[in-house]
Amino acid sequence: MSRRRPLSTRSVRFAALLAAGMVAMANPGAAHNPIFTPGPHVVYGGGLEVTIGYTRDRARGAGDRETGQEVELEFEYGLTADWTAELELPFVTKDLNDDGSSGLGDIVLRSRYRFLRLDTPGVQRAAAVLGQVKLPTGDDGRTPRLGSGSTDFVGGLLYGHESRRWYYNLAARYRLNTEGAGGLEKGDRQFLDIVGGVRPALTGYLEPDTVVFLELNWENAGRDRLNGAAVADTGGWELFLSPGIFATYRNVALRTGVQIPIAHGLDGAQPESAYRFKFEIKYTF
Amino acid sequence: MTKFLKPTGLVLVMMWLAATAVLADSHVYKLYVDGLACPFCAYGVEKKVGGLDGVEKIDIDIDGGVVLVTLADGATLDEAAAKQAVDEAGFTLRKFEAPNKE
């Protein structure tokens, strides 16, 4: 039985920031999808992609210093050539000033359906819809909380253009948050992403391959509500510039990148993102 | 006598090499695949096409968008099966070339 503490403004802010970071970094990453932007590419029908990832994010301001780390195990299975089922198991460590906690975070179930695929020699254009449910499996009775205590939903539309040399991606997502622990309902969030990528050297099938991405990630959050009342110093938007690298050899991939905040319009006094770092190893069976 | 044997031997060697090449090619199917852009994505082609009956070897030329499929002796590759395998890998089979049988 976990001990529950009353929600303070600080913990509300931290929970909001934690949720923002988690959803932003939870990127369904198959094939050559960008690092922070979900893409339309999916694992082949009957294929299984296993990912071990590490993310770290930090935020500062309003008297707080918050650090989150997450090791996640992700499975993506190709139900068909265009439809995937995905499971994400996060193990998180959170530090808020002098407090710290770690354990299982909120498990994510996700599915993508690629409804459009236009193939021409050396080029693939694709579009997909994304559906995601975040379950309240993380302990919300600890400080800092490991989960939001709410069941949240994400829907998105994803587009990708992939050629031998160039990559372009667009994504739009909406996150619907429900009421979680302590009567806190985080504001819904919107995400818009624009990505460009280039393969500096055109390599063959059984050769190491590298693609460099530059992403622009915009996030907007509505005002949180606590027991139905709007919470001060919550909500607003942040814009990130995110360089990243995707290096592969046959069925093994390394993905890494960092989100750097370049502009924001946060409401009131609240911590601002300092950076978000991500590193992943993928293996396709 | 030596003058006669030398060119004859050369011709025989060349004929043997040509025959070997023809025999080898007789098991190689050429699939022209659209949408192939990256090596990591091409792994699906290796898995799906490589999993078809009788397939011994897969060579993928990403720049050319060509997949060479080498079959075992006596095995054949059906175009419909190849098309389905390529589709399940997430790509499109544009053209199917069976080997010339001598």
- What CATH number belongs to B2-97? 3.30.70.100
Closest CA of chain A from B48, distance in Å: 8
Taking the alpha carbons at both ends of chain B, their separation in whole angstroms is 34
> Tokens at residue B40, please?
């990591």
Mean pLDDT of A41-45: 91
Query: Is residue A174 domain-resident?
Result: yes
Q: Do B39 and A250 touch (CB under 8 A)?
A: yes
Percent of chain A with pLDDT over 90: 66
User: Is the confidence at residue A117, as pLDDT, over 90?
Assistant: yes
Q: Do A122 and B39 touch (CB under 8 A)?
A: no
> Does the CB of A51 have a partner CB in chain B at under 8 Å?
no
Q: Let me know: does A192 contact A226? Beta carbons within 8 Å.
A: no
Q: What is the CATH number of the domain that holds A220?
A: 2.40.128.130
Query: Is residue A35 domain-resident?
Result: yes
Give residue limits of the domains in chain B: 2-97
> How many distinct helices (H) and strands (E) make up chain B?
3, 4
Residues in chain A within 8 Å Cβ distance of B44? 43-44, 47, 284
> Does the CB of B87 have a partner CB in chain A at under 8 Å?
yes
B10-38 confidence digits (pLDDT tens): 565 555 545 444 445 568 999 999 999 98
Query: Is residue A264 domain-resident?
Result: yes
Q: Which of A119, A249, A251 to mutate to test the interface with B (most CBs of B within 10 A)?
A: A119
Query: Is residue A2 domain-resident?
Result: no
Query: Is residue A180 domain-resident?
Result: yes
Query: Is residue A3 domain-resident?
Result: no
Query: Is residue A91 domain-resident?
Result: yes
Q: Do B39 and A209 touch (CB under 8 A)?
A: yes
B78-89 confidence digits (pLDDT tens): 999 999 999 999
Q: How many domains does chain A have?
A: 1
Q: Let me know: does A217 contact A239? Beta carbons within 8 Å.
A: yes
For residue A264, what are the domain limits? Answer: 9-284
A204-221 confidence digits (pLDDT tens): 888 999 999 999 999 999
Give me the sheet containing A184-185, strands edge to edge: A184-185, A225-226, A229-230
Query: Is residue A1 domain-resident?
Result: no
> Does the CB of B73 have a partner CB in chain A at under 8 Å?
no
ipTM of the assembly?
A: 0.79
The predicted model scores a pTM of: 0.81
